[in-house]
Structure 1
Amino acid sequence: MVLHYAGGGKEMREEHSPGRTPAPLDDCYYQVRLIQHRHMHPSPITGGERYWDIAYNYLICHHGYTFVGRGLASQPGANGSRYTNERYYAICGLIGSGDPKPTDVMLRETKAVMEWVRRYDQAGARVEGRHVKGHKDVDRDPPTQCPGSLYPYIGNGYFD
């Protein structure tokens, strides 16, 4: 599996802040729909790829909500190349490089989603070594910092 973040800069709107009670499901859903819109309708100014749907298999927000993108048994489009998209699921944390570090509930839910995907689809079964990689590990052209503040949790084995 390849772990992503929502993007560089501050991705979260003020309403979508960790610690907000009650956690606003409709606002988290809005964040996912915004990403889906960007993937399907790239800006003519900044460019980007045009996907048939959101490029991630699953997305997890700070509040611990999981959103199904392409789901199980569907090839993602977010991993940088056809080769990596054919071999890895794409899981996105709804966090940006300018946002606070990931919350404990976000990390636990991300790990639970990864375990669920492994159990039901043998994710990573054909890959030698570590099953979870950061986007920057599999897509170096152009260089990326993705998954930002989620990356240290890959290196310390949290998700394996």
Structure 2
Amino acid sequence: MSFSSHHLYFDDLEVGQEWDSIGRTVTETDIVNFAGFSGDFNPIHIDHEFARGTPFRRPIAHGFGVFSIASGLGVMTPPVRTIALLRVRFWNFLLPVFAGDTIRCHTRVVEKTVKGRGKRGEVVWYRGIVNQDGKTVQEGEVVTLLECRPLVRVGDPVAVGEPSANGTD
């Protein structure tokens, strides 16, 4: 997927802006596939008999599997020109997620820092994963690197529909 005119630049974001993603129902297939992909076959995730003896009474989704699903939900909420995920500042796993739960990703711009002589910028995002009952199951902050709008140099021709460097058309 390439970026489109709908993808926001670093410059388009403001601290405090918020978005909510569409919902995504976590399935037992998601849990089994994540176990196979990650190699995490902990019985709390895949063994129904074992899980009956836990406080949850049934298998729970992998925490990092839920984090990964939410990462996908956040890709287009908002649609931004992401270059890279740089780091996870902190992350808290608060409540279990079960097969059949529907999660959404709530996103808020926390901080912005210009980098690369104005060609890129770091954005700190709050991400909260919320279940169908409105309860936050995971939350934290991630930092991404985004494209900035191309710099206009004095003397460069102005693109059609763009304001000139001196503010006149």
Which TM-score applies when normalising by structure 1? Answer: 0.30
Higher RCO, Cα 8 Å, sep 6+: 1
Look at both structures and tell me which one has the larger radius of gyration over its CA atoms: 2
Pick the structure with more helix per residue.
1
